[in-house]
C-alpha cells in the first residue's frame, strides 16, 4: 500500500494526464455514435445563449441577402401554386372519372404528414469534418431529435441535440451521415461529403447505365428522413470508378452553407410509426 | 492585479474571442484552389502558453481540460479540443525548461511572454506547442490517414494562420509597461 501511494505521488502528473485523455476519448467516442451526448453540444443553455446574443448583433448585416432569398423562395412557391392551379380539371377528360371515389375498395393512402417550422440559424460552421448548425428553436417549440432540416433552396441536415430553446443540427456536410438521393429518372444513389470543400457534395453508387449530364438536378427520395423531391444540388462533374464502372457525381449543393440564415425544421408525424414498424422487423 | 483574477479574466476573454469572433473567420487561401482545405484560426491554446512559469503540471492539465471542453461545447466537437489542449499542457513545462536558461522556479511571479523571454525563444516555444496542438487536433478530427497530404496541408496552413493571430493577440493585449515601470 505504501509503495502504491509512493508510486501515485511519483507519477501523479502522468496519471492525471492519462486519465484526462481517457475522459476525452470517451467523450469523443460517445459523440461519434449518432445518439450523441447532449451536455457538451452547442445546444446547451449557456452556449446557445451566447450564440443567440452574437446572432442578434450580426443579424442586421445579413438582412439584405435574406430579403433576396425570401423573395426568390416566394417566387418559387408562387410558381408551384400556379402549376397546381393551371390544370383545369373540369374540362379534362380524365376528370370525368371520380378521382377519389367513396367506394369501400379505394381510399387515399397517406404515408407522410409534414409540419414545417421556421427557425433562425444562430451559429454555423463549414470548416470541420462534422459541421453543426445551431438554431433558435428547441423542444418547447416542438423540435425533436432526428427531424429533417431544409432551407428555402435545398437540404440542410438533421437535428441531433435538442435543449429547451435551442437545437443543434448535424449538417449534410458531415462524414457521419449519408442521404439517399435520386436523379430525374429515379436512379437512386447516396449523397456523401468528402470533408474537404463545403461547395461540393458527392453522389456515389450511381449505376453505370444511368445517363447523367452536367447540370442535372438531384433530389431527395422517400427513403431518407427528408421529405421527397427536395433539391439537393446540380451535377458539376462526372467520374467513372475503374473498379466497378459505377459513376461518382460531384454536385454543387443548392444550399449555400456559407450564408445560411433561415431554415425550416420538418417534422414527419408518421415517421415514428414507420420507424417502430421497421425496428420490430429487424428484431425478429 | 491578483494572478488568479487575471488568469480567470484571460480565460473568459480568450474563450469568448475564440468562439464568437474567430470561429466565424473561415479562411481560404488564394481565392479558391481545388482541394485546398478551409480552416479557422485557433487562438485559445495561448491561454495555456501564458500561465505563470511556476504553475504546477496538474493545474496546467486541469485548466487545459477546462479550456478545451469550453471550446468543444461551442463547436460541437466533444472532447477533441480538450484532448489536444491537455496534451499541450502536459508538454508545456518540458518545452519551457528546455528553452529557459535558468530553472523555472527562479522566475517567481512572471509569466512567459515576449518581454520575459525575448522574441525568438517565445516564438519557438509557442510555434512548437501550437503545431503539436494542431497535429493532435486534426489527426483526431479527420481520423483517416488515407490522405496524409491533405492532413499535413491542413495542419501546416492552420498552424501558420494561428501563429499570426497569436502574435497579433500578444501585440494587442500585452501591456507595454517595460518603459513605464
In chain A, what are the domain boundaries?
A: 42-268
Residues 23-52 of B with CB under 8 A from A: 23, 26, 34-35, 37-40
CB-CB under 8 Å, A24 with B82:
yes
Q: How far apart are alpha carbons A168 and A135 in whole angstroms?
A: 6
pLDDT at position A262 is 87
The secondary structure element, H or E, covering residue A185 is: none
Residue contact B82–A198, C-beta within 8 A: no
In a domain, B19, yes or no: yes
Q: What is the pLDDT of residue B31?
A: 45
Compute the average pLDDT of residues B7-11.
91
pTM (two decimals): 0.77
A21: left (phi over 0), alpha (psi -120 to 50) or beta: alpha
In a domain, B51, yes or no: yes
pLDDT band at B61 (very low <50, low <70, confident <90, very high): very high
Of A13, A50, A258, the CB nearest to B20: A50
> Which three-class secondary structure state does DSSP give residue B179?
coil
Query: B127: distance to nearest CA of chain A, Å?
Result: 22
Note whether residue B179 is domain-resident: no
CA distance A15 to chain B (A): 10
Write down the pLDDT at residue B181. 41
Segment A15-22 long-range contacts (CB within 8 Å, at least 24 positions apart): A16/B57, A16/B58, A16/B61, A16/B62, A17/B57, A17/B61, A17/B86, A17/B90, A20/B61, A20/B62, A20/B65, A20/B82, A20/B86, A21/B83, A21/B86, A21/B87
Does A30 contact chain B (CB < 8 Å)? yes
**Residue of A23, A26, A129, A132 to mutate, interface with B, max B Cβ within 10 Å:** A129
CB contact under 8 A, A196 and B23: no
Q: Does A109 touch chain B (CB under 8 A)?
A: no
In terms of residue numbers, what domain contains B76? 3-23+39-173
Residue A19, pLDDT score: 92
User: For chain A, which residues score pLDDT lower than 70?
Assistant: 31-43, 86-111, 283-284
Q: Is A13 within 8 Å of chain B by CB?
A: yes
When pLDDT is averaged across residues B37-46 and rounded to a whole number, the result is: 83
In the predicted structure, residue B130 carries a pLDDT above the cut 90: yes
* Range of weakest confidence among B7-11, B103-107, B135-139: B103-107
Distances in whole angstroms, Cα of residue B174 to Cα of each of A95, A112, A242, B51: 80, 60, 58, 14
Comparing CA positions, the residue from A226, A267, A268 lying closest to residue A110 is: A268
Among chain A residues, CA nearest to B33: A197
Chain A interface includes B66 (CB < 8 A) = no
What confidence score (pLDDT) does residue A200 get? Answer: 86
Residue A191: φ, ψ to 5°? -95, 125
Which of A 114-143 lie inside 8 A of B, CB atoms?
123, 125-130, 132
Residue B35 distance to chain A (closest CA, Å): 7
Q: Is residue B59 part of a domain?
A: yes
Whether B141 and chain A come into contact, CB under 8 Å, resolves to yes
Higher pLDDT, B144 or B70: B70
pLDDT at residue A269, as a whole number? 83
Say if CB A218 and CB A203 are below 8 A apart.
yes
Q: State the pLDDT at residue A64.
A: 84
> Taking CB atoms and an 8 Å cut-off, how many pairs form between chains A and B?
102
Provide the number of structural domains found in chain B. Answer: 1
- Tell me which architecture the domain covering A42-268 has in CATH: Beta Barrel (2.40)
Is residue B29's pLDDT more than 80? no
Q: Identify whether the C-beta of residue A236 lies closer than 8 Å to the C-beta of residue A214.
A: yes
B88 pLDDT above the threshold of 90: yes
Amino acid at each position: 500500500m505504501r509503495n502504491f501511494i509512493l508510486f501515485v505521488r511519483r507519477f501523479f502528473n502522468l496519471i492525471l494526464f492519462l486519465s484526462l485523455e481517457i475522459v476525452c476519448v470517451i467523450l469523443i467516442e460517445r459523440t461519434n455514435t449518432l445518439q450523441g451526448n447532449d451536455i457538451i453540444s452547442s445546444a446547451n443553455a449557456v452556449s446557445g445563449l451566447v450564440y443567440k446574443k452574437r446572432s442578434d448583433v450580426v443579424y442586421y448585416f445579413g438582412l439584405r441577402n435574406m430579403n433576396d432569398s425570401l423573395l426568390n423562395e416566394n417566387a418559387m412557391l408562387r410558381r408551384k401554386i400556379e402549376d397546381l392551379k393551371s390544370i383545369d380539371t373540369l374540362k379534362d377528360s380524365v376528370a370525368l372519372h371520380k378521382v377519389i371515389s367513396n367506394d369501400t375498395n379505394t381510399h387515399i393512402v397517406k404515408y407522410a404528414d409534414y409540419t414545417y417550422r421556421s427557425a433562425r440559424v444562430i451559429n454555423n460552421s463549414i470548416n470541420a469534418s462534422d459541421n453543426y448548425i445551431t438554431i433558435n428553436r428547441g423542444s418547447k417549440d416542438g423540435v425533436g431529435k432526428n427531424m429533417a432540416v431544409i432551407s428555402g433552396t435545398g437540404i440542410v441536415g438533421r437535428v441531433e441535440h435538442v435543449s429547451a430553446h435551442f437545437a443543434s443540427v448535424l449538417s449534410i456536410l458531415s462524414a457521419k451521415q449519408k442521404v439517399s438521393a435520386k436523379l430525374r429518372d429515379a436512379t437512386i444513389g447516396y449523397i456523401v461529403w468528402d470533408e474537404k470543400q463545403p461547395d461540393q457534395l458527392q453522389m456515389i453508387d450511381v449505376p453505370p447505365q444511368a445517363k447523367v449530364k452536367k447540370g442535372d438536378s438531384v433530389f431527395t427520395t422517400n427513403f431518407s428522413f427528408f421529405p421527397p423531391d427536395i433539391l439537393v444540388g446540380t451535377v458539376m462533374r462526372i467520374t467513372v470508378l475503374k473498379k466497378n464502372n459505377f459513376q461518382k457525381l460531384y454536385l454543387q449543393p443548392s444550399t449555400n452553407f456559407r450564408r445560411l440564415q433561415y431554415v425550416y425544421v420538418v417534422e414527419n408525424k408518421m415517421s415514428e410509426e414507420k420507424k417502430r414498424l421497421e425496428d420490430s422487423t429487424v428484431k425478429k | 492585479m491578483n494572478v488568479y483574477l487575471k488568469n480567470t479574466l484571460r480565460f473568459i476573454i480568450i474563450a469568448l474571442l475564440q468562439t464568437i469572433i474567430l470561429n466565424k473567420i473561415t479562411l481560404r487561401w488564394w481565392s479558391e484552389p481545388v482541394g485546398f482545405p478551409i480552416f479557422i484560426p485557433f487562438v485559445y491554446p495561448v491561454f495555456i502558453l501564458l500561465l505563470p512559469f511556476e504553475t504546477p503540471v496538474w493545474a496546467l492539465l486541469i485548466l487545459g481540460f477546462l479550456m478545451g471542453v469550453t471550446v468543444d461545447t461551442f463547436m460541437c466537437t466533444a472532447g477533441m479540443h480538450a484532448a489536444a489542449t491537455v496534451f499541450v499542457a502536459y508538454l508545456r513545462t518540458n518545452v519551457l525548461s528546455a528553452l529557459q536558461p535558468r530553472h523555472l522556479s527562479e522566475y517567481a511571479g512572471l509569466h512567459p511572454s515576449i518581454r520575459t523571454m525575448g522574441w525568438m525563444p517565445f516564438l519557438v516555444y509557442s510555434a512548437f506547442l501550437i503545431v503539436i496542438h494542431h497535429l493532435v487536433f486534426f489527426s483526431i478530427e479527420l481520423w483517416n490517414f488515407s490522405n496524409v497530404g491533405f492532413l499535413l496541408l491542413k495542419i501546416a496552413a492552420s498552424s501558420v494562420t494561428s501563429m499570426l493571430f497569436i502574435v497579433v493577440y500578444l501585440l494587442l493585449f500585452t501591456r507595454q509597461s517595460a518603459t513605464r515601470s
